[in-house]
Amino acid sequence: MPQASQIPEVPPVPEFQQLPGPVYRRMFAIPAGHRVEMHSHPWVQFTYASEGIMQVLTEHHSYLLPPQCALWIPAGVRHTAYSGQTIEFRGLYLEDSLLNGYQRPCGVMQVTPLVRELIEKASHFPADDPVQGRQARLLQVLVDELRELPEAPFGLPLPSDPRLRRISEALQANPADNRSIENWAQWVGASRRTLVRLFQAQTQLSFREWRQRLRLLAALPLLAQGMSITTLANELGYDSVSAFIALFARHYGVTPGLYASRLAAPQPA
């Protein structure tokens, strides 16, 4: 068990109102179990973990960031972050002048090898970025590459209705809960028809699709911990291991076994 002195100290969220340069970099280890308080910034934040799996919550979505996936957080979006394991955090604050009017909604993106290397290179720059020169040119290339990153399927929309929130929070705490929507409707004091309509309207997913996506996201940290596929399927409430494998492969494009092997493989430096 690590001594207290060995636990990395997490720098507090910066409180400045204006960035000291066009790109402000935050890169450090975050210990297992650490939770960042809910906050927002007046600038875009690009964040990911080069090692470990990080969960980020906004007021309307839950996102899971496996290694080499990142989250684009627009200015003003309140968010909090948590991880059950130690992660290597990488974060960029981006000034509007660099984005040239570019906007995109909050969402998970796949980090390409080029972007990963550019971020690692930038992490060694001095805190005060030059207005011009080699470093400024590299940062502009980095921002240009960020704009082209493809989306990744690691987000879950959260409903806003208080009754649906009770259900979604209960299922996030226990994804294996197999209660039917009729049972949930009785639990929150609503009709089945109301829950069906609200889930579709507020998440763009049916209740069945929403719970399925929740379980698939919940599978990722368990795979990273080395849990067997059979145990994992049972832990998440699946009656059939083969059904879980098929759903996972359909959603993520690879089987859970292959995904687990990728998580276990050493990440490029």
Whether 151 maps to a domain, the answer reads: no
Determine the angle formed by the axes of helices 192-203 and 181-188, rounding to 10 degrees.
100
52-62, pLDDT tens digit by residue?
Answer: 899 999 999 99
Q: What is the pLDDT of residue 263?
A: 76
Whether 152 maps to a domain, the answer reads: no
The CATH code of the domain that includes 221 is 1.10.10.60
Confidence of residue 205 (pLDDT cuts 50, 70, 90): very high
Look over the chain and give the mean of its residue pLDDT values, rounded to a whole number.
Answer: 89
86-97, pLDDT tens digit by residue?
Answer: 888 888 999 888
Last residue of a domain, one of 125, 146, 167: 146
Whether 153 maps to a domain, the answer reads: no
Q: What is the pLDDT of residue 266?
A: 54
Count of domains in the chain? 2
Residue 131 and residue 24 share a domain: yes
Q: Does 267 have pLDDT greater than 80?
A: no
Confidence of residue 156 (pLDDT cuts 50, 70, 90): very high
pLDDT, average across residues 17-36: 87
Residue 118 and residue 22 share a domain: yes
Task: Kindly give, in sequence order, each residue whose CB lies less than 8 Å from that of residue 55, ignoring residues fewer than 6 positions away.
Answer: 62, 63, 64, 65, 81, 82, 83
Confidence of residue 6 (pLDDT cuts 50, 70, 90): low
Residue 102 and residue 14 share a domain: yes
Q: Which domain holds residue 238?
A: 159-264
Residue 119 and residue 10 share a domain: yes
Collect contacts of 123-126 with beta carbons under 8 A, ≥24 apart. 123/25, 123/27, 123/90, 125/25
The CATH code of the domain that includes 84 is 2.60.120.810
Residue 163 and residue 140 share a domain: no
Residue 55 and residue 30 share a domain: yes
Residue 90 and residue 178 share a domain: no
